[in-house]
Structure 1
């Protein structure tokens, strides 16, 4: 069937810095969960960031971006719990830290046009990042990080809404934040992720490497409110080894607003993205809230 490859990719959903081809371009990391100030590593301390994500699937696209026939919809709701410890140690002039991400998610698929209906919920694949490096200049910030997504969630090849991916992923991060003025009221940021996958034990398929960029052009008002234009571009760079030769691709444009209360060590951001021109997977809209707490 023409859309079997789409279902193989689109069926394995998850979320937030979570895992899912429905949300990611065949990788674990989901574009759109970071936006304004994403590449800026905070000063030494312990932090929690909770990402609440809702992804509404409007349609399915094949490897040539053609829309699948019939009505194909779905929803993914997830809460990714990220814990960050930035130490007082430095390496290569950067602050050194570690992090972990523990996602919880619920997926519901109703792809009537291609004959798939399935749902699942539970704990997603867990990420451990032993390397977080953050540099800070007078008008810039930069980050490099490395970590691995482990196969901790359930995965069944015959169940399209399985929470897990069925494989591990090594993720490398590189990004920067540039402030156009001394007051840092205008900023541009770009945060990239490169993902390298292991073989799925149950299928013998090794998903192709993927790459994405999240970007934001933002302005902080005199009231302290941060507003901005945000977007993401994600590509599967090579076909799956032992599987589909189609390469997933996702593009989105959106808006974000955020505010930080320094007296409470608390920040709240909200963003909405509309996807366009996707290939080899679902297409839809993403709503993201993230709460930051400084301890």
Structure 2
């Protein structure tokens, strides 16, 4: 009976599988199907610094892999599990001349393309295609030469492929409303600190009558500028699910997700205006999620 329960628990953690969404590959999380709509850890340096008015393109490239599932107390779930995910996500940003409340108005959209494979207890499934698109307005503020911030409201659309009976899904099949506050302190010859804080309001999955709990999470980076365009330091993300999931209106207990991820990070800014960030993240302190690691690269290019 315990073995049956453990397999069922693992199936819930995978559920609809690993959701690879937005700008990078995200691992298995708590909430329905063990997934989250936002790609945890996708952002790094400069996340709170809006560029001058104009058009910009970004490209997020990531690889995520996980080989274990963690339960409600951090224990390893005794199942044969493996996940590998690759994603590339172009992002278009339009920073306008329009001023609102003292900040520059901007609009952005991220369109992820995902390659996902999930294996669980001898079963395997792969999917490739469009993930869930992120879009929304933002206001960028420049408080001083070094201190910047962004306030935004993102919407995550259920555009990715989803089937409630599949092991691997690259879509969540529900909308998400996500307020965002990001702050960047930038010194080319000293301390650099970036924190992008988000709160997810997950709406109901109509195919399963399941509503995932709300999630508070933040991407962060802390580094030191070397004065030659390079910044070196650490980065990662923190996630805490704040409310319980609900299935058919009933509360799902002992299912809140939690993770801390950290690893080395670097940034290079060219004299021509483009910049590149790269990092590796190892997940730890995991609850009700897969535990893994990720490699991420972000390239920003002005038109």
- Residues 203-245 of structure 1 show CA distances to partners (whole Å, capped at 9, x for unaligned) of 0001111110111111111221111111211011112111743
- Please, which of 18, 23, 26 is the counterpart of residue 17 of structure 1? 23
Is 1:188 the equivalent of 2:196? no
* TM-score, normalised relative to structure 1: 0.91
1:27/1:188 Cα in 2 relative to 1: closer, same or farther (>3 Å)? same
Distance in 1, matches of 2:28 and 2:284, equals: 14
Q: Deviations for 1:111-162, whole angstroms, at most 9, x for unmatched residues? A: 23xx542211111111221x21111122311111002111112211110211
The SS at the match of 1:276 is strand
Aligned: 1:268 with 2:272: no
Over the aligned positions, Cα root-mean-square deviation in angstroms equals 2.0
Alignment partner, residue 117 of structure 2: 108
Contact 1:132 1:146 in 2 (8 A): yes
How many residues matched?
Answer: 289
Structure 2 gaps of 5+ residues are none
Q: Distance in 2 between matches of 1:41 and 1:134?
A: 5
Offset of residue 58 of structure 1: 2.2
Q: 1:207 aligns with which of 203, 206, 212?
A: 212
Q: Structure 1: how far apart are the matches of 2:131 and 2:182?
A: 25
Partners of 2:109 and 2:52 in 1: how far apart?
17
Q: Is the 8 A contact 1:228 1:255 kept in 2?
A: yes
- Could you tell me how far apart the structure 2 residues matched to 1:286 and 1:21 are? 9
2:292 matched to which residue of 1? 284
Post-superposition shift, 1:290?
1.0
Identify the match of residue 141 of structure 2 among 135, 140, 161: 135
Distance 1:47 1:235 in 2: 32
The aligned runs of 1:1-295 (5 Å cut-off) are 1-10=5-14, 11-17=17-23, 22=28, 26-112=35-121, 116-129=123-136, 131-138=137-144, 139-179=146-186, 185-242=190-247, 244-245=252-253, 246-263=255-272, 265-295=273-303
Structure 1 unaligned regions, length at least 5: none
Residues in 2 aligned to 1:149 and 1:19: alpha-carbon distance in whole angstroms: 15
Give the Cα–Cα distance (whole angstroms) in 1 for the partners of residues 37 and 7 of structure 2: 22
Report the alpha carbon displacement of residue 60 of structure 1 after superposing the two structures with TM: 0.6
* CA drift at 1:18: 5.4
